[in-house]
Amino acid sequence: MLVRSFCTVLVWATVAAEDVGYFWHVTDFHWDFSYWTDQLSCNGMNISQPGLFGNQWCDSPWRLVQETITGIKSLKSDVDFMLWTGDTVPHVANPFLSTALNEELVRNVTELMQNEFPDIPIYATFGNHDYYPSNLYPPHGNEIYNETYELWKKWINDTSQDQYFLKGGYYTVLARPGLRIVALNSNMYYTHDTVTLGMDDPSDQFAWLDAVLTDAAFNNEKVILTGHVPPGYSTPRAVRWMSEAFNKKMNSIVSRHSDVIVAMHFGHEHHDNFRLYYNTAGKAIVSLFIAPSVTPWRYQILSEKETPHNPGVRLIKYDRQTGKQLDIYQYFMDLETANKVGYVNWTLGYQATTLYGIPDVTAPSMETLVKKMSNINSQEFKAYVNWYNTNGVKDFPCDAKCHKVVMCGLRNLEEGPFNTCLTSPNIFKCPPADPGCSIVG
């Protein structure tokens, strides 16, 4: 009896020792300053009733930006910090933009966030649209790095980072004892950045990243890696955002330091997505999460039309002591309803552990999910398809071919393995000792 009571106390002590914290991840506002006038982001359409909170063919009106920031504040204001992964400037052609205008757009959103969250550090990164001209981030100092640093240095709060931000738009911050944020300017690796294309290490960011991660391991810190353009393949379109040489370098650094990286949180895709890094033994070692955008904008290129999606924001639950990523709470705004009723109701779409039946969102747990998703008829794959568009008015169509692209993209971040996976007839194998695994492929 005495032994049992002792055990109970021990179990209670273990649970009580978990120190849970939260942070928000918000990305891709794409504020269209011309929404109520020229509708410059609206795919060349003339929309007579664009909607108070936004339109699925256009980037965000200011009202949507406001409703997002005040909305997350009312959902949960006592977070430890926030990640903001760029693309504040709309999908508008360069002749309608300028260095001064892009700076103005970022300044307005920064000030709104500072006003609403005066005591919360926000770790912000550039998106490919924030530079002028779009995408062409240079590997050296410029006015946009200088001006933006003036806006964000209060959050960074560490003068030792001046040199990195002013030279390449990247920095690192110890968010709390034992937990480091590494904020990258991964736009320099984007395929559209013709300025850095072919360079070995633009702004020396790779060398710096390698050194920061090495130091983090030495100092017993865990790291959250954040940025805009993610490595790997966006599925189901099978688009690789980074030039392959940069993609490979990035992946090699991440893999080498996987023991200190607790998660990667990126933007740019506008959809709810993720991918996993594996070691040579086939074990999942790092989760890369991609948060859906605030902008509801959908592209239309020739005959290709993107399926509509809703604005989204996400809250991440983590263990403050270990950095372990415990859960994702994905919120969305039903844009059509909001426009109809005239007010916004941010709704919890899903909690990852409940939706996917996994204990947390660490790499091994996400691998459990990927295994379940390898069955195209599984509830888990259906849920993934449903939430890919942030509960949009319709799911993207995903047949067997699409399923294969998705599954290959979730597990293969480089060109060679990704293409091999696509052409392989038998890519998904159930482990011999897993009777619950059934694979259709």
Chain residues binding Zn ion by CB under 5 A are 28, 87, 127-128, 268
Minimum distance of Zn ion from residue 109's CB (angstroms): 13
Minimum distance of Zn ion from residue 193's CB (angstroms): 12
- Residue 128 or 365 with smaller CB distance to Zn ion: 128
Minimum distance of Zn ion from residue 393's CB (angstroms): 20
Compute the distance between CA of residue 387 and CA of residue 381 in angstroms, rounded to an integer. 10
Minimum distance of Zn ion from residue 157's CB (angstroms): 26
Phi-psi region of 86 (alpha: psi -120 to 50; beta: other; left: phi over 0): left
Minimum distance of Zn ion from residue 344's CB (angstroms): 21
Three-state SS sequence of the chain: CHHHHHHHHHHHHHHHHCCEEEEEEECCCCECCCCCCCCCCCCCCCCCCCCCCCCCCCCECHHHHHHHHHHHHHHCCCCCEEEECCCCCCCCCHHHCCHHHHHHHHHHHHHHHHHHCCCCCEEECCCHHHCCCCCCCCCCCCHHHHHHHHHHHHHHCCHHHHHHHHHHCCEEEEEECCEEEEECCHHHHECCCCCCCCCCCHHHHHHHHHHHHHHHHHCCCEEEEEECCCCCEECCCCEECECHHHHHHHHHHHHHCCCCEEEEEECCCCCCEEEEEECCCCCEEEEEEECCCCCCCCCEECCEECCCCCCEEEEEEEECCCCCEEEEEEEEECHHHHHHHCCCCEEEEEEHHHHHCCCCCCHHHHHHHHHHHCCCCCHHHHHHHHHHCCCCCCCCCCCHHHHHHHHHHHHCCCHHHHHHHHHCCCCCCCCCCCCCCCCCC
Residue 44 neighbours by CB under 8 Å, 6+ apart: none
- Residue 137 or 331 with smaller CB distance to Zn ion: 137
- Residue 262 or 291 with smaller CB distance to Zn ion: 291
Minimum distance of Zn ion from residue 281's CB (angstroms): 34
- Residue 268 or 317 with smaller CB distance to Zn ion: 268
- Residue 86 or 168 with smaller CB distance to Zn ion: 86
- Residue 39 or 234 with smaller CB distance to Zn ion: 234
Q: Which residue is nearest to Zn ion (CB)?
A: 87
Minimum distance of Zn ion from residue 295's CB (angstroms): 7
- Residue 269 or 367 with smaller CB distance to Zn ion: 269
Compute the distance between CA of residue 214 and CA of residue 227 in angstroms, rounded to an integer. 19
Minimum distance of Zn ion from residue 139's CB (angstroms): 19
Nearest to 332 by CA among 287, 366, 384, 291: 291
- Residue 268 or 411 with smaller CB distance to Zn ion: 268
Helices (H), 130-233: 143-156, 162-168, 205-218
Minimum distance of Zn ion from residue 306's CB (angstroms): 12
Minimum distance of Zn ion from residue 66's CB (angstroms): 19
- Residue 278 or 297 with smaller CB distance to Zn ion: 297
- Residue 89 or 385 with smaller CB distance to Zn ion: 89
Compute the distance between CA of residue 411 and CA of residue 423 in angstroms, rounded to an integer. 14
Minimum distance of Zn ion from residue 342's CB (angstroms): 27
